[in-house]
Structure 1
Amino acid sequence: MTSVIAATRFSFLDRSRTREGHDGPGALRDTVTLAREVESLGYHRFWVSEHHSVPGVAGSAPTVLAAAVAAATSAIRVGTGGVMLPNHQPFVVAEQFGVLASLFPGRIDMGLGRSVGFTDGVRRALGHGKEDAEDFPGRLTELLGWIDGTQQAHPQVHARPAEGLDIPAYVLAIGEGASVAAAAGLPLVIGDLRGREKVLRAVEVYRRDFRPSARAERPEVIVSGTVAVAATREAARRLLIPEAWAMAYARTHGSFPPLAPAEEIEARTMTAKERGLYERGLEGHIHGTEEQVTEQLETAIKETGADEVLVTTSTYDREALVDSLRRLAGIVRRGG
């Protein structure tokens, strides 16, 4: 029997997480280095993210970082997961992707999200408020119009060199975003794999309401989430610890910290609230040995009908992360 894994593409999203003892510039250089590794392992695409004024994340300019990644690689698709459209003028976003697609033809993906800055101060600094997120469908339509050459709001204005180029667009969605992707006739990127019931409901809505477009004739679903593979299940679990603690700390202290080594976190004395959030942060992720991860992935792909899995694993130990990605690539090559 052919495994569903063999028929599924696998890609990677790096959030350029900072680590204790390593600064933000180093995190961005780590992202570029990791992209080369991911390409050598045969993954389909490598995406970068957008965050503003977050202490634990260095990636604030995804199109700039995507250019560096594309320049450092040769064949892997490169894109954004994503550019947060409410933070930017669609005209400028079109121009940026036009430049990327011109410099790296046939390799650039335009992943788009609807998030705005996490705090009032960040939103004021960006010059955009929550109301801009509510107009995400309109901003998306305007952006696609700049690229397709169909926009009418600004006569005699053209987004060069983007206009007329083939720049694949993807909608990053949680909940209601699935309907936006369906109405626009665009592929859907959705996560995380831990919240399986929520993901399944959104995917069902997306497939039900999908309208074929010039960009996509049929629904396309990319599911994202953490996948950690190691020689033992315990070793794979240790890969999850730094991010689980960072999330627990952020929810109890209001600040997202750099990733810390697993052994340092395990030695911490935590409050009851921190411990509860931390333990919950470790639950539900796809992790384990090759055999265990194969079984979990097959279940996830069958349940969601995913065309692609976008791996989003973040951890302190970069060597262990690369080893995990290498083991996952081996699973994919074997078809399970």
Structure 2
Amino acid sequence: MSSVIASTRLSVLDRSRIREGHDGPAALRDTVRLAQDLESLGYHRFWVSEHHSVPGVAGSAPTVLAAAVAAATSTIRVGSGGVMLPNHQPLVVAEQFGVLESLFPGRIDMGIGRSVGFTDGIRRALGRDRSDADDFAARLEELLGWFTGEQSAHPQVHARPAEGLRVPPYLLATGEGAVIAARAGLPLVIGDLRSRDTMLRAVEDYRGRFRPSLWAQEPYVVIAGTVVVAGTEQDARRLLRPEAWSLAHSRTHGAFPPLVPPERIGSMPMTARERAFYEAGLEGHVAGTEEQVADALSAVIKDTAADEVMVTTSTYDREALLDSFRRLAGVAQLAPHGTALDRPSGASGTVRSAHP
């Protein structure tokens, strides 16, 4: 298999997708079990997300879920992909990650995003509006200052137990996120793989503007997107159907529904607009057999010079999803944590960056 993939860290972001016939608690338990499975396969990190009032997503409190995942695992890095900073006070975010890092030292990542609620109703319930994303750079600076003790907005206040801890921050690129990450000297997480040209421009801009910081001395790029591996190309494309249909439904009805079995989707009535979104949702991903995925993923890594790939795949069939992750681990030549393919940060022969 490709040496390019084998020298690139491989991680997973799970959105705790609800499956038809199951409920939110089952989805959260599935997330914890998946983290355990991926740890045994040698994946580098496992992140959870923040969504509010989405019918098909159970992950609404990433720091709480990250704590459950970290408690159920022992070696894989655990974090958020991400905590949406406009929805929260920076002090509270710092305190939460300070607690996580204190309980699970050396394993916690702080992925931060700049999105606000999905709909006007959600934003009102959160006490936010679209303009709250405009001061993201200032809120980010305050958040990082709570860890270093250098924030100036509240000189008599200290974030306990965060102050003095080094929880690695990552910035999710949306809008101007790549520029903000570069100026703050933070690692960048960018997706999706379908928008290749947009991704390449943002990565180039990020590297060109990057300023070394306490958090990262050099640019660090994580590319994120759907990657599916199956025995045949047809089987891989079948696994794409539930998420593609859910995306099409969200574009036409305003919310992601629970995932449904792929066999049902072909017989579902769709408007022309829904059908167009659905067909578009099937394209542009890295999907196929081991050989096809190795070739396609190697090309993306070479184009972006990515340090890490974060897989965001979801589908209805949990066992098929786990099989895809097993096959991908084989493509990437992953090994259990602590072996030669997962040396501590800075060791030679594994990755190009010493970032955790």
Report TM bin, short chain. Answer: over 0.9
CA contact (8 A) 2:116 2:123 kept: yes
Does the CA-based 8 Å contact 1:10-1:309 persist in structure 2? yes
Tell me what 1:288 maps to. Answer: 288
The aligned residue for residue 34 of structure 1 is 34
Q: Secondary structure at the match of 1:333?
A: coil
Q: Which amino acid aligns with 2:176?
A: E
1:252, CA displacement in angstroms? 1.4
Structure 1 match to 2:227: 227
Matching residue's letter, 1:213? S
Offset, 1:156: 1.8
Residue in 2 that maps onto 1:129: 129
Q: CA deviation at 1:119?
A: 1.4
Distance in structure 1 (CA, Å) of the matches to 2:199 and 2:153: 35
Q: Distance in 1 between matches of 2:168 and 2:195?
A: 27
Q: Does the 8 Å contact 1:175/1:198 carry over to 2?
A: no
CA distance in 2 between partners of 1:105 and 1:38 (Å): 20
1:166 counterpart residue number? 166
Q: Supply the distance in 2 between the matched residues of 1:2 and 1:194 (Cα, whole angstroms).
A: 21
After TM superposition, the score normalised by the length of structure 1 is: 0.98
Q: Aligned partners of 2:313, 2:249: CA distance in 1, in Å?
A: 18
Partner Cα distance (1:298, 1:136) in 2: 34
1:125 positional shift: 1.0
Aligned twin of 1:268: 268
1:94-173 pair list within 5 angstroms? 94-173=94-173
Deviation string for 1:216-262 (max 9, x for gaps)?
01000000000000000000001100000001111112222100000
Contiguous gaps of at least 5 residues in structure 2: 335-340, 342-356
- Is 1:332 paired with 2:332? yes
Equivalent residues of 1:9, 1:309 under 8 A apart? yes
Looking at structure 2, the residues matched to 262 and 132 of structure 1 have their Cα atoms a distance apart, in angstroms, of 38
- How far residue 270 of structure 1 moved from its aligned partner, in angstroms, is 2.0
Q: Which runs of 4+ in 1 moved over 6 A?
A: none
Q: Would you say the 8 A contact 1:110–1:170 is kept in 2?
A: yes
Deviations 1:48-68, CA, capped at 9 Å, x for gaps: 000001111110000000000
State whether structure 2 residue 49 is matched by structure 1 residue 68: no
How far apart are 1:2 and its partner, in Å?
A: 6.6
Aligned residues: 335
Is the 8 Å Cα contact of residues 2 and 331 (structure 2) preserved in structure 1? no
Give the distance between the partners of 2:250 and 2:172, measured in 1 at CA. Answer: 23
Paired residue for 2:256? 256
> Any idea what the Cα deviations from partners look like across 1:179-214, whole Å, max 9, x if unmatched?
000000000000001100000010011000000011
CA distance in 2, matches of 1:268, 1:120: 29
Distance 2:319 2:267 in 1: 22
8 Å contact kept, 1:109–1:168? yes
State the AA in 2 paired with 1:168: P
Provide Cα deviations, 1:12-39, integer angstroms capped at 9, x if missing partner: 0000011100101110111001000010
SS at match of 2:268: coil
- Whole-angstrom CA distance in 1 between matches of 2:93 and 2:174: 22
1:305-331 residue CA offsets vs partner (Å, 9 max, x unmatched): 100000000100000000000000001
Q: Which ranges in structure 1 are unaligned for 5 or more consecutive residues?
A: none
Aligned match of 2:344: none
Cα distance between partner residues in 1 of 2:59 and 2:255: 16
